[in-house]
Structure 1
Amino acid sequence: MSQGAVTVLITRRVRPGHGPALEAAMDRMIQAARSFPGHLGGRVVRPDEDADDGLDLFHVVFAFDTETHLREWQQSEARAQGLEAVAPHVEGRQQVREVDGLGLWYAQPKDSQDPPGPPHAPPPRWKVAVVTWLGIFPTVLALFLTVGPLMSDWPLVPRVLVITLLVVLIMTWLVAPRLTRWLKHWLHAAPHDA
């Protein structure tokens, strides 16, 4: 049983024309999850409009402080009702990945054209480290050049707090999704291709 925080990434394919209704139903599920013990956050990620794969995949992220609290949410009546509300707006089965730490940035759910079997293996840790550094270095540098001078008179702890908060937000919602999309063939290459 996991002793640390657990994040779940759920992927659903939206029926044509059902995007807004699906997003509203998912938002209601996230709202319901907030009342459960150990809930750390949730977010809907809309389909990438720039993607050229033609897939209308919505993602929902739920995070709980322990696996026990996650299981309580997953077995709840509130979640069951949420899944019923989502059902008319999706096609196919949901894909679920549980990840921890930085794994959420690099999770690659199975594609509908993939053969049956387990989800894609996560990339090797050294590749995760390289891509993480490729995102964090320019992000931190840009923040030190832009935001840093504005906080030059601040005490050290508040400056570090603001910079690290901005790094996490920018990496999670802007830099990491793009890097992992641009580098996905390298990140998930078979060992002999790497």
Structure 2
Amino acid sequence: MDNASRIPSPARAAAPPRAVTVLIARRVRPAAVAAFEAAMLGMLAAAEGFPGHLGGQLVPPQEAGDAAEPLLYHVVFAFDNEAHLAAWQDSAERAQWLQQVLPHTVGTQQLHRVAGLDYWFAAPDSTTRAAPPRWKVAVVTWLGIFPTVLLLFLTVAPLLADWPLVPRVLVITLLVVVIMTWGVAPRLTRWLHPWLHARAG
């Protein structure tokens, strides 16, 4: 055996860490809505102080529904990698806020975690199906963001012309995220589903 055969092959480069989004669904008693929202907003604010925090949002029910039925709320937490997400989930601050949230909820929470932008592209009837190839995700994301940003620059941006730069960018990017997440992306991924999830030949 020659010396070359004894040289170990170089280890594969570690994959770069991916952002992780946690989607949580909770049912809330109608009489406890105000207290639940206050507690959840407190938890979201606490998460902002943790390393790697990318954002969070409380999404109220779209319809009021029956006054006697629990209301379905969604909560989104995003961190830049799994380690920072775990640090938040294992923290004493989160545990304290959970103690304030839980008395206002009904049943157990439903939790779904995905990496990067994959939650836009997951199959609607499955939480385990693999996301499409990243290049397809990039193409569909661009197809949604380009017209959304163009529309906002033609309609909203002129109204903010006298604002300082940072608030203008904040408003525009916030609108892009909201429109993409709850409007454009779900429709694009539904229309392009056969192509996104086509098996490689």
TM-score interval (norm. to shorter): 0.5 to 0.7
Q: In terms of Rg, which structure is larger? A: 2
Residue 96 of structure 2: SS of its match in structure 1? Answer: helix
1:36 to 2:50 alignment: yes
Preserved CA contact (<8 Å) 1:106 1:122: no
Between the aligned partners of 1:109 and 1:95, the Cα distance in structure 2 is 15
Preserved CA contact (<8 Å) 1:122 1:188: no
Provide the residue aligned with 2:147 in structure 1.
Answer: 138
Alpha-carbon spacing, 1:180–1:137, altered in 2? closer, same or farther (3 Å)? closer
Amino acid in the other structure paired with 1:82: W
Aligned length: 176
Identity %: 51
Residue 48 of structure 1: SS of its match in structure 2? Answer: coil
Provide the residue aligned with 1:113 in structure 2.
Answer: none
Preserved CA contact (<8 Å) 1:11 1:95: yes
Give the structure-2-normalised TM-score.
0.64
1:99 to 2:108 alignment: no
Amino acid in the other structure paired with 1:138: P
Between the aligned partners of 2:130 and 2:60, the Cα distance in structure 1 is 22
Give the structure-1-normalised TM-score.
0.65
- Give matches, 1:31-180, under 5 Å: 31-49=45-63, 56-106=71-121, 119=127, 121=129, 124=132, 132=141, 135-146=144-155, 168-179=173-184
Q: Deviations over 1:19-66 (max 9, x none)?
A: 221111111111222222222222211111389xx8722111112222
* Structure 1 spans left out of the alignment, 5+ residues: 111-117, 152-160
* Structure 2 spans left out of the alignment, 5+ residues: 1-14, 161-165
Preserved CA contact (<8 Å) 1:136 1:171: yes
Q: Over aligned residues, Cα RMSD in angstroms?
A: 4.1
